[in-house]
Structure 1
Amino acid sequence: MHTRWTDLWSTSPLFQHIQHIDPFAIKHSFLKLTLSFSKRLTGLIIGLRTRHLPLNQHLFRLTKTDSSDCPRCPYIDETVPHYLFECLHYLAARQVMSQALGRKATSLSHILTDPEAIVILVRYVNQTHQLKSTLPKT
């Protein structure tokens, strides 16, 4: 059964994206990482990894919004990387995250796989108030 699932997963459109973030995603490392996390925090991490969050790029794909643009940055898609690393509206929160994580603050892979970085990521999400529906309670 595991072999069949692995074969099916490797043909999924999300496979390449997830593999880039966490090459061991189909192994037990994700389960080990999230074992002590709440359901909301696990959901946030999964949403960030799969890009299925209430950000306009995803909502536009689902026809829930008229545009994929960031509401604060005209003509720029509101994507996970834009939200975490580029949006000028969140510059202050991003600086706090950068000070805490150093050089690895711009590594999506690090932010979504390292337990200590995830704590900093949750602070960032809480400071921005952008993902209220998926916001982990701290």
Structure 2
Amino acid sequence: MGHIPLNSCLHRFKKSDTRHCESCWVRGWLEITETVVHFLFKCQTYTGESYNMDRALGRHSRDLRGNLANLDRVKELLKFVGRMARLKMTFGDAIGDVSHLDTEEV
């Protein structure tokens, strides 16, 4: 659906003054739009956590569509997002908790 509380979406609904990644803006990279792909895979702010996510997901770690099609990979993505403070105000501490997800439910 494309609706997530990142600036690219929030800006469309007039909930953010900018569509750009604020973390990258602070570093001087003004023109980087904060999209899901940028947040998960490209933002330099989360390089260390991205590395850990890449190791957990394996060689296709940057394939968003493929990762969303596999529950175990979705869990890893949610753990990654849970470790980031970026969405904590919206979702609270529950975003990284995947303990209630059972692979047999799919």
Q: TM-score range by the shorter chain?
A: 0.7 to 0.9
Shift in CA distance, 91/61, structure 1 to aligned 2, threshold 3 Å? same
Q: Which runs of 5+ in 2 are unaligned?
A: 25-29, 98-106
Work out the CA distance in 2 between the residues paired with 1:77 and 1:92. 21
Normalising by structure 2, what TM-score?
0.78
Deviations 1:63-99, CA, capped at 9 Å, x for gaps: 1111100001121000011001100001111101100
Could you tell me the percent identity over the aligned residues? 34
Aligned residue number for residue 82 of structure 1: 38
Q: Is residue 2:53 matched to residue 1:100?
A: no
The structural deviation recorded for 1:58 is 0.4
Render the CA deviation track for 1:30-56: whole Å, top value 9, x for unaligned.
xxxxxxxxxxxxxxxxxxxx2211100
TM-score with structure 1 length normalisation?
Answer: 0.61
Q: Radius of gyration: which is bigger?
A: 1
Q: CA deviation at 1:118?
A: 1.0
Amino acid at match of 2:54: S
1:65 is paired with a residue whose SS is coil
Tell me the CA shift for residue 137 of structure 1: 5.3
The alignment yields a C-alpha RMSD, in angstroms, of 1.3
> 1:109–1:92: structure 2 CA closer, same or farther, 3 Å change rule?
same
Aligned counterparts of 2:71 and 2:83: Cα–Cα separation in 1: 19
